[in-house]
């Protein structure tokens, strides 16, 4: 039986093959969270799965910028963009949810990053900071006021989703043991500083929820 009310949702971010060891943009130890996330999800009546989902020529891919390499930064109309290896190309095995994920009661799979010109770390607002995925409306329609967020990677898609959830007025908690980071150029420390400044609650273990 869930021990959270239906008005608290769990958001499981980007637990996909390409973000796990052996994938195109592997987060160190990324697959280690799968059993933790499965156990956590059983405590929630409302679960949303997030799926990074790009066209093959997405402009966050270094391959679309001749002479540029992954982890370099380019200037896009909406600001700086880190370039990544090609990853989570829609319909490919790398974009699939990790096969160990066992959350049959998930109510929604929210895809993001489908517009070629704009990246979307956040599950709520694309990187132009204007285009909404629609998830905010879905959560509001269900009367959800509080979200618990976990997944990959802590310093990018988890953090951006957490910060945007605060912008939309939600209570937000991030569970560290159910998340893993990329941590490039100080990104993890910066992400936690930003989240704590925005009022995101940080818990190490799921038992602390
Ligand atoms: Zn992506």
Q: How close is the Cα of 121 to the center of ligand 1, in Å?
A: 7
Other CB atoms within a 10 A radius of the CB of residue 79 amount to 10
Cβ atoms of residues 25 and 18 within 8 Å: yes
Active site residues: 14, 112, 157
Taking residues 35-61, report their average pLDDT.
98
123 alpha-carbon distance from chain centroid: 6
Instruction: Please tell me the distance between residue 103's alpha carbon and the centre of ligand 1 in angstroms.
Output: 22
Residue 151 Cα to ligand 1 midpoint, Å, equals: 14
CA 61 to ligand 1 center in whole angstroms: 8
Mean pLDDT of 63-75: 96
Give the position of tokens 């799921």.
206
Q: Where are the domains of the chain?
A: 8-55+89-208
Residues with Cβ–ion distance below 5 A, ligand 1: 52, 113
Q: Say what percent of the chain tops pLDDT 70.
A: 100
Q: Is the pLDDT of residue 1 over 80?
A: no
Mean pLDDT of 47-59: 98
Q: Which two tokens stand for residue 11?
A: 């958001």
Q: Which two tokens stand for residue 96?
A: 């699939």
**C-alpha 88 – ligand 1 centre gap (Å):** 6
Q: Is the peptide bond before 153 cis (omega within 30 degrees of 0)?
A: yes
| Chain CA centroid to CA 155, Å | 9
Range scoring the smallest mean pLDDT among 1-5, 59-63, 148-152:
1-5
Percentage, residues of the chain above pLDDT 90: 98
Q: How does DSSP assign the chain, residue by residue?
A: --SS-TTEEEEEE--BGGGSTTSTTPPTTGGGGHHHHHHHHTT-SEEEEEEE-B-TT-TTBGGGSTT--TT-EEEETTEEEE-B-S--BTTSGGGSBPTT---TT--EEEEE--STT----SSSB-TTS--B-SHHHHHHHTT--EEEEEEE-IIIIIHHHHHHHHHTT-EEEEEEEEEE----TTHHHHHHHHHHHTT-EEESSGGG-
> What is the 91 CA–ligand 1 centroid distance (Å)?
14
pLDDT tens, position by position, 83-105: 999 999 999 999 999 999 999 99
Question: Looking at the domain that runs over 8-55+89-208, which CATH code has it been given?
Answer: 3.40.50.850
Distance between Cα 203 and ligand 1 center (Å): 26
- At residue 199 the predicted structure's pLDDT band, cuts being 50, 70 and 90, is very high
The torsion angle over the Cα atoms of residues 170, 166, 50 and 134, rounded to 10 degrees, is: 80
- Write down the pLDDT at residue 20: 98
- Cα(183) to centroid(ligand 1), Å: 16
pTM of the predicted protein model: 0.96
- Tell me: pLDDT of 2 over 90: no
């Amino acid at each position: 039986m869930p021990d959270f009310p239906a008005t608290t949702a769990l958001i499981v971010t980007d637990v996909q093959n390409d973000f796990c060891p052996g994938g195109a943009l592997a987060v160190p130890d990324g697959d280690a969270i799968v059993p933790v996330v499965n156990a956590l999800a059983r405590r929630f009546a409302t679960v949303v799965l997030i799926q990074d989902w790009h066209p093959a020529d997405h402009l966050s891919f270094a391959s679309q910028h001749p002479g540029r390499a992954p982890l370099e930064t380019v200037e896009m109309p909406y600001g700086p963009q880190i370039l990544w290896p090609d990853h989570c190309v829609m319909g490919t095995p790398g974009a699939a949810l990790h096969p160990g994920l066992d959350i049959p009661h998930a109510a929604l799979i929210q895809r993001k990053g489908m517009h070629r010109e704009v990246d979307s770390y956040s599950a709520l607002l694309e990187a132009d900071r204007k285009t909404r995925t629609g998830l905010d409306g879905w959560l509001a329609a269900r009367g959800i006021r509080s979200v618990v967020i976990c997944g990959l990677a802590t310093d990018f898609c988890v953090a951006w989703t957490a910060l945007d959830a605060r912008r939309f007025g939600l209570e937000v908690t991030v569970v560290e043991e159910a998340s893993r980071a990329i941590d490039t150029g100080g990104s993890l420390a910066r992400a936690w500083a930003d989240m704590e400044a925005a009022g995101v609650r940080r818990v190490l273990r799921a038992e602390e929820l």
